[in-house]
Structure 1
């Protein structure tokens, strides 16, 4: 697509392990020719290739280092260096502190460190980190997930998408999502949690932020996607949808 619209494609949103027809958390966000892989959960590299090769990505952005959001970085490393991909330069990788050493530790059990930097040009995230990737501006905030974890606001052409990553409701997420066009918010748990949203809390966050639209994602297995969206809609008067794997949303 080259019309400049901001688009969100759901590669997968299952938790904590892939479903038969739904990989773990992963999204492709595009605007014009800019392509960003947002979270690389288990199984998402496969559907990513329906839309972009690894050497066509402008960046990868990782919310936190749990496997259901980051595991496919390991296979992406092999794909980028040892298969049919020819990188002109390492892929820009934005992720939590320590992400490079974490990947290197998984990839080798010897004293020789895996050459992570041959595949990825790593930038460690921090609260209020800002970056421009092609036509998309990214603003990151630290969120509450019991570990280093981040949410991101992605803006292009006057439109904005906020992705919660994994987090309990928190002031940083609400502030980041203020007046956004779309809030893509996790709804992992049925009861309260200090590291996740319920579907109702996702609705509360969208309402507090005055988001234009809410898309619930990362729905735990105790609820169907439709049930989670219905529960969120009891707390948010705007449009509510659920992240449907393979679907592209125009923002």
Structure 2
């Protein structure tokens, strides 16, 4: 199993990265976790434009799903269209919400390019992967994911405040991609985002093998976010996410 960070910028694209998007590959199957603003362009540095086999969306905020609109254009009007519809596992109303973002009628919406399937908590198969989805703490319906294959596992927080469900998802995972949107300080809003320190606390509780801090908001000093994480009681390796970084879990 190989993980490539396509985008790791929080809330909007930064100067060095698109918004949230992660490419997970095994046995020739290519799965995207989220498809945020700016991700479609960078994705093409790593795989072909039409090589995506499935997409899972953690929630429907623009920084996690907006480039679905551009990818709809590519798959609907490309030179060899129509291309096979890509399964998209996403919260309810994803098709309607993305159609509104694109400015098109509800029907057929983006169904010409995508086969939308409603995401609910539980465990299911996507290609060669076993995915577990759990609700996490965010102002909208939002999920964290655990992706397993060949005895290896990664956990992805999506967007969340402090969450016992995230700890369960990341239990003994080889790699934890955990959001760290906040610089740590007293009185942080509940059920919204995590600081680097809080991300490390979750990783320590889960006994995750490696912590990668992601959803890095461009206005924050990233060295401060990393320093915050060093105070979270986690003993494993910690690093900041970087667009283009590759983690081979073979």
Whether TM-score is above 0.5 comes out as yes
Residues 55, 85 of structure 1: 8 Å contact kept: no
C-alpha distance 80-230 of structure 1, shift in aligned 2 (>3 A)? same
- Equivalence for 2:170: 177
Give RMSD over aligned pairs.
1.6
Residues 54, 88 of structure 2: 8 Å contact kept: yes
Q: How many residues align?
A: 244
In the alignment, is residue 227 of structure 1 matched against residue 237 of structure 2?
Answer: no
CA offsets per residue over residues 128-168 of structure 1, 9 Å max, x none? Answer: 2x222222111110110011000000011100000000000
- Equivalence for 2:118: 124
Between the aligned partners of 2:175 and 2:241, the Cα distance in structure 1 is 12
Between the aligned partners of 1:85 and 1:184, the Cα distance in structure 2 is 36
Between the aligned partners of 1:86 and 1:153, the Cα distance in structure 2 is 33
- Equivalence for 2:212: 215
- Equivalence for 2:56: 61
Range with bigger deviation, 30-39 or 198-207: 30-39
Structure 2 unaligned spans of 5+: none
Could you state the TM-score of these two structures normalised by the residue count of structure 1? 0.91
- Equivalence for 2:131: 138
Range with bigger deviation, 39-48 or 7-16: 7-16
Residues 186, 217 of structure 1: 8 Å contact kept: yes
Residue of 30, 39, 60 corresponding to 1:35: 30
Note the C-alpha offset of 1:242.
Answer: 1.2
Between the aligned partners of 2:3 and 2:97, the Cα distance in structure 1 is 28
- Equivalence for 1:3: none
- Equivalence for 1:237: 235
Alignment of 1:13-28 (within 5 A): 13-28=8-23
In the alignment, is residue 206 of structure 1 matched against residue 215 of structure 2?
Answer: no
CA offsets per residue over residues 41-65 of structure 1, 9 Å max, x none? Answer: 1000011112223432110111111
- Equivalence for 1:160: 153
Range with bigger deviation, 11-20 or 70-79: 11-20
Residue of 130, 136, 141 corresponding to 1:148: 141
Residues 182, 225 of structure 2: 8 Å contact kept: no
Between the aligned partners of 1:156 and 1:87, the Cα distance in structure 2 is 31
CA offsets per residue over residues 183-211 of structure 1, 9 Å max, x none? Answer: 10000012422210011000000001111
C-alpha distance 187-123 of structure 1, shift in aligned 2 (>3 A)? same
CA offsets per residue over residues 48-93 of structure 1, 9 Å max, x none? Answer: 1122234321101111111111110010111110123545521010
C-alpha distance 134-87 of structure 1, shift in aligned 2 (>3 A)? farther
Structure 1 unaligned spans of 5+: 1-5
